[in-house]
């Protein structure tokens, strides 16, 4: 038996999230079904993070244990051949017995994409939140700065297990990209933390949008963070805009 890690990319549009559910399409379910067909083993896959329904990933990480006797290149090719077109695995590596996709991870990087333009963009709809009116990105960037460092993030989600809602955010910043063809603008919100609460990125982005619209000041955003509860207004943001970009590990 050997322990293997793999990087997974997926378009989450058609799935009910990562975690396996009976009779519903999930990323984990599709990965396990294809892997079991290839190996003829009953294999359970563990991921770095359970993304919600409709959320995408470019760099999800999973691990599993297998008796596969051939090379990992062959396993990768056979696995990809049986996976649906909206899921792919890459960079299969044998890892030590103490590697764990979730618990060994030192940080996760998410990107949330917002498209701002007079008219919605059909070619960006699967991967972004659409906002019609101009946003005050400077105010949003200022507010986002308050997220950096160690804080109790109870204002932006619930703990996935236990009660601890303290997290360390290493980076929370916006990048802007003009779309010359439409006159619109893409906003990328990149956030890296040691770990995330449930729905944390989408709750943060929903609240930052209120700052961008002028409904909340950056100072009021910081007060919400410090108050540490979910009793504050949040605009809904669609899962399509969210993507798990990368999971980082100190060890291999």
> Counting contacts by CB under 8 A, is residue 16 touching a second copy?
no
Task: Work out which of 31, 62, 87, 209 binds a second copy, going by CB under 8 A.
Answer: 87
- Count residues contacting a second copy (CB under 8 A)? 28
Task: Work out which of 44, 90, 171, 176 binds a second copy, going by CB under 8 A.
Answer: 90
What does the DSSP 8-state code read for residue 24? B
Task: Work out which of 43, 78, 95, 127 binds a second copy, going by CB under 8 A.
Answer: 127
Closest CA to 222 of 234, 237, 213, 211: 211
Task: Work out which of 38, 51, 60, 76 binds a second copy, going by CB under 8 A.
Answer: 76
Task: Report residue 247 as tokens.
Answer: 């999971």
Asked if 54 and 42 touch (Cβ cutoff 8 Å), the reply is no
**187: number of Cβ within 10 Å:** 25
> Counting contacts by CB under 8 A, is residue 100 touching a second copy?
no
- x-or-dash string of contact with a second copy, 32-61, rule CB under 8 A: ------------------------x-xx--
What's the closest the beta carbon of residue 9 comes to a second copy, in angstroms? 5
> Counting contacts by CB under 8 A, is residue 72 touching a second copy?
no
> Counting contacts by CB under 8 A, is residue 159 touching a second copy?
no
Asked if 148 and 115 touch (Cβ cutoff 8 Å), the reply is no
> Counting contacts by CB under 8 A, is residue 10 touching a second copy?
yes
Closest CA to 166 of 233, 228, 246: 228
Place of tokens 């993070």: 49
What's the closest the beta carbon of residue 30 comes to a second copy, in angstroms? 11
What's the closest the beta carbon of residue 183 comes to a second copy, in angstroms? 9
Q: Tell whether the torsion through CA atoms of 182, 184, 190 and 196 is positive or negative.
A: negative
Backbone angles phi, psi at 195, to 5 degrees: -160, 170
Cα distance between residue 73 and residue 77, in whole Å: 6
Task: Report residue 19 as tokens.
Answer: 């975690």
Contacts with a second copy in 221-250 (CB under 8 A)? 243, 245-246
Give the DSSP H/E element, type plus range, for residue 120. Answer: none
- Please give the positions annotated as active site: 52
* List of residues contacting a second copy (CB under 8 A): 9-11, 56, 58-59, 76, 80, 85-90, 118-123, 125-127, 181-182, 243, 245-246
């Amino acid at each position: 038996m050997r322990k293997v890690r793999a990087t997974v990319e997926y378009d989450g549009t058609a799935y009910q999230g990562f975690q396996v559910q009976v009779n519903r399409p999930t990323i984990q379910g599709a990965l396990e079904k294809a892997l079991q067909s290839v190996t003829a083993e009953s294999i359970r896959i563990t991921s770095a993070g359970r993304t919600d329904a409709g959320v995408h990933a470019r760099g999800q990480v999973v691990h599993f244990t297998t008796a596969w006797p051939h090379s990992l290149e062959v396993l990768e090719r056979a696995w990809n051949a049986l996976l649906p077109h909206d899921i792919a695995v890459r960079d299969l590596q044998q890892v030590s017995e103490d590697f764990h996709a979730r618990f060994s991870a030192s940080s996760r990087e998410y990107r949330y994409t917002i498209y701002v333009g007079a008219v919605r963009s059909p070619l960006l709809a699967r991967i972004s939140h659409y906002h019609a009116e101009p946003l005050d990105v400077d105010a949003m960037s200022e507010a986002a700065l308050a997220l950096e460092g160690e804080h109790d993030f109870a204002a932006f989600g619930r703990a996935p297990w236990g009660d601890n809602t303290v997290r360390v955010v290493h980076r929370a910043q916006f990048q802007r990209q003009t779309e010359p063809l439409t006159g619109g603008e893409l906003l990328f919100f990149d956030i890296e933390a040691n770990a995330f609460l449930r729905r944390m990125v989408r709750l943060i982005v929903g609240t930052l949008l209120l700052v961008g619209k002028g409904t909340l000041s950056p100072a009021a955003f910081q007060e919400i963070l410090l108050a540490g509860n979910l009793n504050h207004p949040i605009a809904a943001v669609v899962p399509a805009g969210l993507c798990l970009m990368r999971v980082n590990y100190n060890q291999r």
